[in-house]
Structure 1
Amino acid sequence: MVRFLDLFKPVSRFIPEVRAPQKKVPFNARLMWTLAALIVYLIMSEIPLYGVTTGGTTDPYATLRIIFASNRGTLLELGIGPIVTAGLIIQLLAGSNIISFDRSDPEDRGLFTTASKVFSFVMVIVQASLYIVSGVYGVISTTQSVLIFVQLLAAGMVIMMLDELVQKGWGIGSGISLFIVAGITQNIWWMSFSIAPPPGGDGRSYGAIVALFQGIMGGLAPLEWIYRSGWPDMIGFLMTLVVFAFVVYVEGMRVEIPISHSSYRGYRSRMPIKLLYVSNIPVILAYAMFANIQLVGQFVWSRWNADNTNFVFNMLGMYNRTESGGMDAIGGLAYYTTSPGSLSGVAADPIRAMLYLLIVVGFCVLFSLTWLEIGGLGADQMADQLLQSGMQVAGFRRSKKPLEKLLNRYIPTITLIGGMIVGLLAATSEFFGVFGSGMGALLAVSILYQYYQTMVQEQVEDLYPFLRGALG
């Protein structure tokens, strides 16, 4: 019987790829390649799509652009959305055993990478098409549609290559992580210090800190210095600091299991199991799913349910066309997977806010538990890794079964609690207007911490090459 991955063998030779370096690239060179990829990303995020006019229209994906590292109306309209969505599909297929592969087999790993690229390319085509036909850009001609599609397709391929360039060993860390943290940093800086006045605002600048001083100098009431509905304010800024501090604290929480080396009886250490064991993966997958619900919902509504009279389609999403030409969700699954946006939105529809909170937390927990097996983080896989590295838990026989049983006491429970924490953090932070959202804070802290650890390890390996094997 032909395996699913074997279907990609004929096309693997035609898939463009970045070749891995033949030998380890020096740290400084990897840093330069990483900066080069980041600069290309930032330039692309400022180049407008030819043939698109977005001024004066609402952005239906504004709250989801954080995890997609995207920028509306530019070459990065899709951002890393197709890659994340393809990853979601691939992981679900792997979790259901439709895709089976041996992680230790180089050929299987190569086929899995090829499959991921093919799915990413297909998702670029699908998402670009849905953006165009669902009316996100308004009423456009056939020529404009073709031009926009070609631009989005080319930009998607460039982002895929940049991500592979960084991941293959030319850069540091992951291209996706790099682009996400760059987008979050841009967003927080803009919401804090932008001097441009927002359209329809109170005359003050968009940035909260700039608006604070303008309010003080303008003689406004003290409450108006720190709070303004619908725009970045000092309450949101202070909550951003609180959320970042909380995430840093939670990132440091862990359970430590004493371990020893079978060959060195005097050697003792501890294996840490972080509270956020599966890191930011669950929240990325959950919001990627919400974004695709929005995308499909808008397409279906604009084509077959513009009057909101079809019961089945209404379950997916009901919309109203705004004066600016955008689409606002007013019912269905698309409505309840969209954040109310602020405390005033929560007060206006508390049932929606509560359902949104439950949905986010529920899917974060679900994806956390699913990722244990898919990502090779379950007790079974961790026990194998410990035994293969010559480690064992102090007081236990050097055998897989007792080790797996011990790890099962901690890993599933910690994963469940961690999934609930990231879900609660992501949802409630949006209610309080946190800059970059709580999801952004979680992603930024975890990604920057990973980069810090990677850079420290790289520098230690360059200074002390004999430690390279011990550090992995």
Structure 2
Amino acid sequence: MSGIRLLDLIKPFASIFLEVELPYEKSIFDEKLVYTVAAAIIYLLLGLPINGVNDENVVDAFGWLRNCFASTPGTLLEFGVLPVAFSAFLWQIAAGDKLLDVDFTSSSDRKLFQSLQKLTSILLGFVFAVLLVFAGYFQPIDYFTSAAENGELLVEPSLFSKLLIVVELTVSNTIITLMAELLDKHYGFGSGIIDFIVISSATTFTTSFIGLTTQVTSRGFESTGALVQFVKNMFSSKSYAYGIVEAFTRQNLTNLTQIYAAIFAVCLIVYLSNCRYEISIKSSKVRSMASIYPIKLLYCGAVPLIFTYSVLYFCNIIGFSLTRIFSSNKYLALIGTWELEPEFKKTYNLTGGLLYLISASPSCSSTNPLLSLVRPFTYTAFVVVVSTLFGKAWPHMSGSSAKDVAKQFKEQDITMVGRRDVLMSKEIGKIIVPASSAGSFATALAAAICECCGGSKGLSYGTVTGVLGSLSVLEEIVSEWQQTGAAGSSQLSQFIPTQ
């Protein structure tokens, strides 16, 4: 008698939660494009303020982690795609390491596996919301203290108001989870998580570089765009030297140093993405039909970097919430200590604890000078080691290992030139394993160094993941355009050149 699997326990929940059905027939190119664009627009529209929360009073503790997860503080996108991404990584690792018994060749097992990921994502969003609400994140105690000192009378939110915030965040996270599932089931191009990260990274970088909106700071009105603020400084500042220095060093908004660090990281990643090893292949049935199969250096793309920062984001939410809820417990300070940024009072920055050593939290330095000196090295080492180890294991867990590629070749009657079929898996493994490890190492190292040197508050690694994600989505779009004959049937053919 076989035992009960974890997947079998999900069956009662599978009928409760909403589910996106697989398309009855393959979606055409135009439909996929419409679904992708519509999902991205809906995602951006979810960036509405939370009802009952004044986003100007929210002091952000996770600003340096947000860019990779398309999240915005004080809005319905407070967690972005973090719950969806973390749940997907969690169960994919469990399945890859055989901790979860699942047969991906069975449609019923795949359906239950997707339901398990969806349920975990919704529960994670709910838990995160409860922790942050009752930790006072949306009504910071620092804000109430300063208001009391100024003679202002403020009433602490009621239990009903806190529960309403939890409900809002849980519902918005559920919508994001369903939209990601919609795109994952081939209604659109690319993965739902990657698509949302790409659109968010593009808007964040554009706003940070040439944003025309202004914010009130201690120095008056400042443009959100670093380049726009630089031009304003040249015309308004009495000293050109001061204007240039201020444009490169301002702390409250994005500066040109952070922009240049992000651009350098992107240029390096684009160069590395064009490095590949080409395997000569031929058809075993059609004579003289030969081609090449390219294996890129960045074989895993942005996935290892997203996984590493999802772990950091998860640990920071849990650590921040616990240290605020149980503030009387002095041992929790070993996890991390957060202090209000003194000048602008808009962010909490890590100043100590274990999480401080693996963070790129800006502005504040630790009270221990030794920790401040060591932190760039421990942070870089953590990001590089975790990304490299995950990148090495990811092909096996995601079904893109050498054995899977060799099986795909065999099903398509393809063989490697000059190699026997029995050795094909071994030969491909000699390329895929180093490529996945070296590519993950290079990507993580470039992002981590740019974060440390430029103090980019997450802009560098967020832009890197956005560029890598956009390259994978663009590759899928081009492949679909060429292989399905969309050039002749698509309504966009009159706008897109066929040659």
Taking structure 1 as the reference length, what is the TM-score of the superposition? 0.90
The CA RMSD measured in Å over matched residues stands at: 2.6
Task: Name the aligned partner's letter for residue 417 of structure 2.
Answer: A
CA shift, 1:436, in A, is 6.0
Q: Which residue of 2 aligns with 1:23?
A: 25
> 1:121-180 CA deviation, whole Å, 9 max, x = no partner?
211211111221222113632111111011011111111121122222322222222211
- Note closer, same or farther for the CA distance 1:282–1:58 as it changes in structure 2 (3 Å cut): same
Q: Distance in 2 between matches of 1:378 and 1:427?
A: 27
Q: Which residue of 2 aligns with 1:214?
A: 232
Correspondence list, 1:21-170, <5 A: 21-45=23-47, 47-138=48-139, 140-170=157-187
Q: Distance in 1 between matches of 2:371 and 2:11?
A: 54
Task: Name the aligned partner's letter for residue 149 of structure 1.
Answer: V
Compare 437-446 and 289-298 and name the one that shifted more.
Answer: 437-446
Three-state SS of the structure 2 residue aligned to 1:51 is: coil
Q: Distance in 1 between matches of 2:239 and 2:215?
A: 17
Three-state SS of the structure 2 residue aligned to 1:319 is: strand
CA shift, 1:182, in A, is 1.4
Q: Distance in 1 between matches of 2:164 and 2:365?
A: 40
Compare 202-211 and 423-432 and name the one that shifted more.
Answer: 202-211
* From 295, 299, 304, the counterpart of 1:273: 295
Contact 1:166–1:172 at 8 Å: present in 2 too? Answer: yes
- Note closer, same or farther for the CA distance 1:145–1:435 as it changes in structure 2 (3 Å cut): closer
Task: Name the aligned partner's letter for residue 430 of structure 1.
Answer: E
Q: Structure 1: where are the runs of 5+ without partners?
A: 467-472
CA shift, 1:80, in A, is 1.1
CA shift, 1:61, in A, is 1.0
Three-state SS of the structure 1 residue aligned to 2:217 is: coil
Correspondence list, 1:56-455, <5 A: 56-138=57-139, 140-194=157-211, 195-201=213-219, 204-218=222-236, 219-222=238-241, 224-225=243-244, 226-230=247-251, 231-304=253-326, 306=327, 309-310=330-331, 313-320=332-339, 324=345, 327-341=348-362, 349-399=372-422, 402-431=423-452, 432-434=454-456, 437-455=459-477
Q: Which residue of 1 aligns with 2:479?
A: 457
Task: Name the aligned partner's letter for residue 101 of structure 2.
Answer: S
CA shift, 1:329, in A, is 2.2
Percent of residue pairs identical = 27
Q: Distance in 2 between matches of 1:287 and 1:299?
A: 18
CA shift, 1:17, in A, is 0.8
Q: Distance in 1 between matches of 2:396 and 2:205?
A: 35
Q: Distance in 1 between matches of 2:58 and 2:13?
A: 41
Task: Name the aligned partner's letter for residue 336 of structure 1.
Answer: L
Greater relative contact order structure (CA < 8 Å, 6+ sep) = 2
Task: Name the aligned partner's letter for residue 178 of structure 2.
Answer: M
CA shift, 1:274, in A, is 0.9
Task: Name the aligned partner's letter for residue 389 of structure 1.
Answer: Q
Compare 193-202 and 448-457 and name the one that shifted more.
Answer: 193-202
Q: Distance in 2 between matches of 1:238 and 1:316?
A: 33
Q: Distance in 1 between matches of 2:347 and 2:265?
A: 31
CA shift, 1:203, in A, is 5.2
Contact 1:342–1:430 at 8 Å: present in 2 too? Answer: no
Three-state SS of the structure 1 residue aligned to 2:421 is: coil
CA shift, 1:64, in A, is 1.3
Corresponding pairs, count: 460
Three-state SS of the structure 2 residue aligned to 1:454 is: helix
CA shift, 1:347, in A, is 11
Contact 1:4–1:98 at 8 Å: present in 2 too? Answer: no
Compare 153-162 and 31-40 and name the one that shifted more.
Answer: 31-40
Task: Name the aligned partner's letter for residue 30 of structure 2.
Answer: N
CA shift, 1:381, in A, is 2.3
